[in-house]
Amino acid sequence: LNFKRVFFLIGFWLSLQGQAQNPLVTHRFSADPTARVMNDTLFVFPSSDTTCAQIKGNNGFCMPDYHVYSTTDLTTWKDHGEILSHNTVPWVEENSYGMWAPDCIEKDGKYYFYFPAMPKDKSAFRRIGVAVADTPTGPYTPENSYIEGIEGIDPNVFIDDDGSIFLYFGGGENLFFVELNQDMKSIKTKPQKVQGLPSKYKEGPFVFKRNDKYYFTFPHAPGPAEEISYAVGDSPRGPFEYKGKVLEHWKDGCWTNHHSFVEYKNEWLLFYHHMDISGNKHRRSMCADRIFFDENGDIPEIKATQR
């Protein structure tokens, strides 16, 4: 029995089942989707692409706020509305349109939403803030200031089984991690560079654990655009060993990709984004496809299903 072939065929069949659902929502743009299971419901926390006059430091993006979406059947999506905007966070520059890729995670019944934004004090390109709520849909109360001691984009939080909390972040071939204190709002360790990644790794880290292995996943651009790749390690502190790509880059000009992995109702899903509604790399829409693991815990590459 050729296990790799069987797994490939199962994966291919499963990925076809996801067809026609992408992009997941069409009434507004939604990029950088972080999917989380909370109270048996699948919530997605993406960023929002819109249109506006160009502002320095936004790389052509125009991203004012965050909405949260939910589903229980992967087909019907509910938009729960705005949970945070560039004009509702005390430390964020008003009308800066720089609310990039976020994350949200539950701990002890509270929901912690992490987001990068342009700080009023101009101390960095992006600082990372946290807002807290009692439910996944909010209302979220932002802290008065950003998390001291770190700067960068694309926060991702992973809580290990022993309760240690890790915040990964950064971009431009500089991905770092810190441990957070139990308050989820302050750092316990200084930033350290994530070890073991190949060159041309980019941004958007997302870490998860499966069968005692830590999967460090990231957009990677060895070619003309970002593909979704992964590396595996025995500790959330790394080092990680590069394993390969899960999703190839786009050939039609959407340079970025940004993703998350989640297990929901006994299936593993990859969330990512593409510009398939707009044809414009700054107006992206979230998508999802099923992935699977082979007998070694490796993730065979999938093909994205587009509309």
Residues that bind ligand FUB (CB under 6 A): 31-32, 47, 61, 100-101, 153-154, 203-204, 256, 258
**Separation of alpha carbons 64 and 44, rounded Å:** 17
Task: Return the number of the residue (50 or 164) whose C-beta is nearest ligand FUB.
Answer: 50
CA atoms within 13 A on the CB side of 137: 10
CB of 99 to ligand FUB, least distance (A): 9
Q: Smaller CB distance to ligand FUB: residue 11 or 65?
A: 65
Contact yes or no for 268/290 (Cβ under 8 A): yes
Kindly write down the DSSP assignment for every residue of 177-208, as one continuous string. Answer: EEEEPTTSSSBSS--EEPPSPPTTB-S--EEE
The whole-angstrom separation of Cα 277 and Cα 111 is: 31
Q: Which is nearer to ligand FUB, 36 or 126 (CB)?
A: 126
**SS3 letters across 6-35:** HHHHHHHHHHHHCCCCCCCCCCCCCEEEEE
- Comparing CA positions, the residue from 304, 291, 101 lying closest to residue 208 is 291
Q: Is 32 a catalytic residue?
A: yes
Task: Decide whether 47 or 85 has the Cβ nearer to ligand FUB.
Answer: 47
The length of the chain in residues reads 307
Q: Is 119 exposed, middle or buried (0-12, 13-18, 19+ CB in 10 A)?
A: buried
Question: At closest approach, how far in Å is the CB of 218 from ligand FUB?
Answer: 10
> For residues 61 and 216, which CB has a smaller minimum distance to ligand FUB in the complex?
61
Nearest-approach distance from CB 256 to ligand FUB, in angstroms = 4
Nearer to ligand FUB, 11 or 204 (CB): 204
Least separation in angstroms between CB 49 and ligand FUB? 7
Instruction: Please answer whether residues 69 and 77 qualify as being in contact, where contact means their C-beta atoms are separated by less than 8 angstroms.
Output: yes
Name the DSSP class of 63: B
Question: Residue 197's closest CA among 226, 239, 151?
Answer: 239
218/240 with CB nearer ligand FUB: 218
Q: Please confirm, yes or no, whether 294 is among the known catalytic residues.
A: no
Rounded to a whole number of angstroms, the minimum distance from the CB of residue 109 to ligand FUB is: 29
Shortest distance, CB of residue 220 to ligand FUB, whole angstroms?
A: 12
Nearest to 236 by CA among 299, 181, 161, 295: 161
- Cα separation, 293 vs 5, in Å, equals 13
Residue 289 DSSP symbol: E
Position closest to ligand FUB via CB: 100
Find the shortest distance in angstroms from Cβ 7 to ligand FUB: 29
Catalytic site residue from 103, 203, 226, 227: 203
Active site residues: 32, 203
